[in-house]
Amino acid sequence: MTAPTASSSLSAPRPAGPWRRAGRRLARDRAAMVALAVLLAVTAACLLAPVYARDVAHTDPFTSNVAGSVTIDGRSVDIMQPNDNPLHLGLSPIGPTWHASADLLGADSQGRDLAARLLYGGRTSLLISFCAAALCIVLAAIVGIVAGYAGGIVDAVLSRIMDIMWAVPVYLFAISLSIVTVSQGLKLGPVAIASDNLLIPICIIALVYVPYAARPVRGRVMSLRRAEFVTAARALGVPGYRIVLRDILPNVTGTLVVLAPLMMALAMMAESALSFLSIGVQAPGASWGTIIEDGEGLIYTRPMVAIAPGLAIVIVVLALNVLGDGMRDALDVRDSGRERA
């Protein structure tokens, strides 16, 4: 009697786990897949920035080249070109040449290859937004879980702190923190971080967005705290930290994962804004925000310098939002809750 049962039990297909099913659902979402492909393509292109600069454009995108020239169709062309006017007033950097080896998208006011800077700037922008989103999610998970699970005075204190942070406009908050740190760097006891260290914008952006991510986590934890499996674990005398790690955390992971691309999109826009205001990424580093700032002074003559990084930000942020929507649909929190319960 037991053998056939065991046999049928072994041969029966194991039900797919919630993550696998979410992955399948996400894979069926065409918009999300296109967004993911776009993100991977942009990331890959940015990672290949040194290869492009060295082997294709043959340029150092961090060195001024105003007195330099490029060769187009066998002709040497000055990178900074006199404006065509009777008074010979002013010079403009070369515009898009559409030759990969000769300032493909043109040059900026320092005569630097815009395409190469765009790729290098993308590395910085993606790195900052990814790290800031990851740090924000970790901090938000800690705050949300502690507040939601502990309740009482702990919840009240943490929630009021989050409310105060929420009450300050996020960009104003980030700008205020950046202005202080960009001039003096950051000193936390024995740890000193230089003002041009990328950790500074990463930490600032992560910090200002914590309330936005912590709130939904707290709400989810509060509902989970009253769930039967948590009550049962408590009744069995399971320690609180084990309940959090084994029962609560796995159930809020879906929420955190859904929040990740959205937080990354927000972080990218915040980084661009801070860098545009010269209080984010510091020279000689480049990000899409700093390149837009470079392009501000060329908006009448070489709008491409501002348009190209602006377009890159739009594409990446749009892709992150579409991917985030797809992940939210795929990782429906109520489904996962039912499955676990």
Partner 1 sequence: MGDGQTLGSPHRGGTLRLTASSSGGTLDPQINYTSEYAQLFTVLYDGLLNFRKADDRTSDEVVPDLAETVPQPEDGGRTWRFTLRQGVRFSTGQEVTVADVAASIRRLFRVGSPTAGSFYGAIVGADICLRDPAHCTLAGGLKVDPATREVVFHLSQPDAEFPQKLAFPHASILPANMPDHDLGNVPAPTTGPYRFISYDPDRGAVLERNPFFHVWSADAQPDGYADHIRYDFGLPDEAAVTAVENGQYDWMFDMKPLDRLGELGARHTRQVHLRSLYGFYYVPMNVNIPPFNNRMARQAVNRALDRRAMTILYGGAAVAGPLCTMVPPGISGALDECAHTVGADPDHPAPSWREADLEGARRLVTASGTAGQKVTVVVQNTAVEMSMGVWLRNMLQAIGYDASVKPLAHSVQLGYIQNTSNHVQISLSDWFADYPSASNFLDDLFGCENFHPGTDNSINIAGYCNKEAQAAMDAAKQETDPARAAELWAQAGRIITRDSPAAPAIRINYIDLVSSRLGNYFYTDLYHMIFSQVWIQ
Q: Is residue 1 at the binding interface for partner 1, with CB under 8 A as the rule?
A: no
Among 86, 152, 189, 237, contact with partner 1 (rule: CB under 8 A)? 86
Q: Which of 249, 281, 241 is nearest to 150 (CA)?
A: 241
CA–CA dist 258, 38 (Å, integer): 18
Among 43, 69, 101, 110, contact with partner 1 (rule: CB under 8 A)? 110
Q: Which of residues 144-203 bind partner 1 (CB under 8 A)?
A: 196
Long-range contacts of residues 284-289, Cβ cutoff 8 Å, at least 24 apart: 284/62, 285/124, 285/196, 285/198, 286/61, 286/62, 286/117, 286/120, 286/121, 286/124, 287/121, 287/124, 287/125, 287/128, 288/118, 288/121, 288/122, 288/125, 288/312, 288/313, 289/125
Residue 41's alpha-carbon distances to 38, 125, 130, 143, in angstroms, are 5, 15, 16, 34
Among 2, 9, 11, 85, contact with partner 1 (rule: CB under 8 A)? 85
- Closest contact distance (angstroms) between CB of 65 and partner 1 is 9
- Closest contact distance (angstroms) between CB of 86 and partner 1 is 5
Among 16, 55, 64, 71, contact with partner 1 (rule: CB under 8 A)? 64
Among 80, 105, 252, 258, contact with partner 1 (rule: CB under 8 A)? 80
Residue 82's alpha-carbon distances to 23, 66, 77, 144, 301, in angstroms, are 56, 12, 11, 59, 12
Q: Residue 94 or residue 268: which is nearer to partner 1 going by CB?
A: 94
Residue with tokens 């918009």: 31
- Closest contact distance (angstroms) between CB of 302 and partner 1 is 8
Q: Which of residues 298-337 bind partner 1 (CB under 8 A)?
A: 298-301
Q: Residue 15 or residue 86: which is nearer to partner 1 going by CB?
A: 86
Beta carbons within 8 Å of 170's beta carbon, 6+ residues apart: 208, 209, 212, 270
Q: Is residue 257 at the binding interface for partner 1, with CB under 8 A as the rule?
A: no
From 83-91, 269-277, 308-316, 317-325, span contacting partner 1 (CB under 8 A): 83-91
Q: Residue 149 or residue 276: which is nearer to partner 1 going by CB?
A: 276
Q: Is residue 66 at the binding interface for partner 1, with CB under 8 A as the rule?
A: yes
Q: Is residue 84 at the binding interface for partner 1, with CB under 8 A as the rule?
A: yes
Q: Residue 73 or residue 84: which is nearer to partner 1 going by CB?
A: 84
Q: Which of residues 271-300 bind partner 1 (CB under 8 A)?
A: 278, 283-284, 297-300
Count of residues making up the chain? 341
The size of the interface with partner 1 (CB under 8 A), counted in residues, is 28
Q: Is 172 exposed, middle or buried (0-12, 13-18, 19+ CB in 10 A)?
A: exposed
Torsion sign, CA atoms 293, 299, 302, 307:
positive
User: What residue ranges bind partner 1 (CB under 8 A)?
Assistant: 62-64, 66-67, 80, 82-92, 109-110, 196, 278, 283-284, 297-301
